[in-house]
Amino acid sequence: MGWIARKADAITPVALPSGKPLETVSPSVKPSKTPTPYGKVLGTQIVAANNDSMPVMSSAWGNTYERTGLWGGAAVWLTVHKNYNGKGGAWGNYVAFGQLPPEIPYQNTPAGRKQAAIQIGARAIGRLYDKPNILKGTTHKAITVDGHPGHEIVARVAVKEPLLKETFSTVMIALIDRGDGTAAISIADLAGSTPAWQNVWRYKITQVKIQQ
């Protein structure tokens, strides 16, 4: 340290140029954004990034990627029509579980739960279908899961795919208040020809576990 100090004293000061202030040079590598968390399918449970969990629909359902825009979510899939178009296309049932994304406003009131469920439902349908056409008959109802208030939406989306026998799908959204200003979400997209899975999904919703 003494050597450094002596060398520094021996250097003749150089006047800085006046006028234009020195510009800050941007670093070559910009800080990356915090990645969106994701959940996992572990055994018989869909486990969100915050460790909330929902049982899978059945052992016939397999792991798939989360595609509805949930925060820290994971999803399962069941093929209903394999190679329906002769080109390898598959049509099936899909269930995701995670959290309400933080950018969607949320209040734990009947109206707030309903509005948040509508917004995440609209986002999910927009991601699952290229040109969604919502059929008449959408229903809303208040639900309670393990003592937590929530809201359920059921809507039918028209399906028009060449060579596919399905004419509509049923999209079901369950929002469950977590008690900390956030909400858990499950979204089901079920082929119209498989209505029995609707009650299975509702039963699995009653088994959702919220981590406190």
Q: Read off the pLDDT of each residue in 99-115 and give the average, rounded to a whole number.
A: 98
List residues bridging with 41 in a β-sheet: 46
Distance of CA 57 to the CA centre of its chain: 18
DSSP string covering 82-143: ETTTSSS-EEEEEEEEEE--TTS---SSHHHHHHHHHHHHHHHHHHH-SS--BPS--EEEEE
For the domain bounded by 39-205, which CATH number is listed? Answer: 3.40.1000
**What is the model's pLDDT at position 10?**
41
- The full set of domain ranges for the chain reads 39-205
What pTM was estimated for this model as a whole?
0.83
Angle CA 69–52–99, to nearest 5: 25
Q: Read off the pLDDT of each residue in 14-38 and give the average, rounded to a whole number.
A: 56
Q: Is the pLDDT of residue 8 over 60?
A: no
What are 45-87's pLDDT values in tens digits?
Answer: 999 999 999 999 999 999 999 999 999 999 999 999 999 999 9
**Closest of 63, 66, 33 to residue 49, by C-alpha:** 66
pLDDT band for 2, please (50, 70, 90 cuts). Answer: very low
**What is the model's pLDDT at position 36?**
79
How many DSSP H helices and E strands does the chain contain? 3, 10
